[in-house]
Amino acid sequence: MKLDVRHVCIPMRYRFGHARAARAAADNIIVQLTLSDGSVGWGETVPRQYVTGETLESVMSALARVAVRRTAWLRDHGDLAGLARVLSAVDLPAELGEAHAAPAAAAAIELALLDAHARREGRPLLDAIALSPFAALLTEAPPSRVRQTLTIGDDVDCALERAGQIEGPLDVKLKVGFSAEEDARRAARLRERFGAAVDLRVDANAAWDRAQADATLEALAPFALSSVEEPLRDRDLAGCAALRRRGVRVMLDESLCTIADAERAIAASAADLFNLRLSKCGGIFGTLRLVERAERAGIAWQLGCMVGESGILSSLGRGFVARVRGAAYLESTVPAKSLEADLTDAVLDHLAGTRDTPVPTGAGFGANLRSDVLARYTAAHSTHEV
């Protein structure tokens, strides 16, 4: 087996910002895994240090270490069913971590393994769920399209211009954490545009201390928010629990990456919803563990995304929400519109006038890699024999 690890840097077509960061380029890790028979699979991750503690460099180092160790799970398991059984029983973020878990690194290698085995069999990567102990989480009739949240960053007007006219069902997420007055002004703008019936939630990206949260949530009270995501800095679960006691529905994101995080949040009564993301939660099986735990605790969940995802993660996000029951929302991107060039040929655009987007059905992650684009935007590359 051979493991190729690439850092790709792709300019974005527009800048996207929130209270913690602003991005004009996608800095992603792409993993190419070649099995002994020549079958090739692809994985992707988007590390964010303020989320999982991982960086581009730490992810590349973790993948180099795992190649050297030749761990039992990193091999050709014969078929997708055998691989699914192995991966569903392994805590990859813990296996790849040193001082702490490495879920972003785990996602990249897990997805590449699953993709290679699935492509060899000519079937979707997400078929692995039905071949694992998590099969009970699957829906009986997966839809052919799913609805994507309209996410508004720091520039409301530009985001609304990009979105265009929307006539179908809609949910909206607004990034907040700028000031109480500014956040209220922007929320009012969205209510004016979409009306009182639209589901509107906000995301502070851990920007507030408790006093700031109190002041801003009071200013936002007239706008009937469905939830507030990661309201407090420093993973303040006690503060989140206090907000819930006052009637605020709290969604956790940056403080919710691993099963250990979930157990802490549940013990603290800190969450009504989990924002799960394949890249920050360790891939398919790491995310499924969190779905299962949320369900047992009576906590809702959504599938989110990282800014700058290519068609690998974006395709899988749509497929995951279509197949796994219970998602409250889907946050994703259309890489062909958000990136200067998508790494894949995935067709993920919205149906005209709606936020509905098709679920890819091709083998592996659902589409194909564009090798010319990958080569054009590769900033660093390492190869490891396994």
Tell me if 297 sits within 8 A of 269, measured CB to CB.
no
**Claim to verify: residue 274 and residue 349 sit in the same structural domain:** yes
Rounded mean pLDDT, 136-162? 96
**Residue 148: inside a domain, yes or no?**
yes
Helix axes 311-323, 284-297, angle to 10 degrees: 40
Prediction pTM value: 0.97
Q: Is 120 helix (H, G, I), strand (E, B) or coil?
A: helix
Beta-carbon count within 10 A of 182 CB = 14
**Claim to verify: residue 97 and residue 141 sit in the same structural domain:** no
pLDDT at residue 19 is higher than 80: no
- The enclosing domain of 51 has a CATH number of 3.30.390.10
**Residue 364: inside a domain, yes or no?**
no
**Residue 40: inside a domain, yes or no?**
yes
**Claim to verify: residue 140 and residue 277 sit in the same structural domain:** yes
User: Per residue in 315-340, pLDDT tens?
Assistant: 999 999 999 999 999 999 999 999 99
**Residue 57: inside a domain, yes or no?**
yes
CA 351 to CA 344: how far, in whole Å? 19
DSSP states of 155-194: -HHHHHHHH----S--EEEEE--S-HHHHHHHHHHHHHHH
**Claim to verify: residue 298 and residue 164 sit in the same structural domain:** yes
**Residue 363: inside a domain, yes or no?**
no
- Output the pLDDT for position 69: 83
Left, alpha or beta for 70 (phi > 0: left; psi -120 to 50: alpha)? left
Comparing CA positions, the residue from 281, 284, 328 lying closest to residue 302 is 328
Phi, psi at residue 124, to the nearest 5°? Answer: -65, 145
Rounded mean pLDDT, 127-136? 98
CA 81 to CA 107: how far, in whole Å? 19
User: Per residue in 31-67, pLDDT tens?
Assistant: 999 999 999 999 999 999 999 999 999 999 999 999 8
**Claim to verify: residue 113 and residue 153 sit in the same structural domain:** no
**Claim to verify: residue 194 and residue 226 sit in the same structural domain:** yes
**Claim to verify: residue 176 and residue 204 sit in the same structural domain:** yes
**Claim to verify: residue 78 and residue 163 sit in the same structural domain:** no
- The enclosing domain of 140 has a CATH number of 3.20.20.120
Tell me if 244 sits within 8 A of 290, measured CB to CB.
no
- In which domain, by residue range, is 273 found? 136-358
Rounded mean pLDDT, 223-237? 98
CA 78 to CA 147: how far, in whole Å? 36
**Claim to verify: residue 194 and residue 316 sit in the same structural domain:** yes
**Claim to verify: residue 25 and residue 128 sit in the same structural domain:** yes
CA 16 to CA 307: how far, in whole Å? 8
Rounded mean pLDDT, 250-272? 98
**Claim to verify: residue 88 and residue 228 sit in the same structural domain:** no
Give the pLDDT band of residue 288 (cuts 50, 70, 90). very high
**Claim to verify: residue 145 and residue 123 sit in the same structural domain:** no
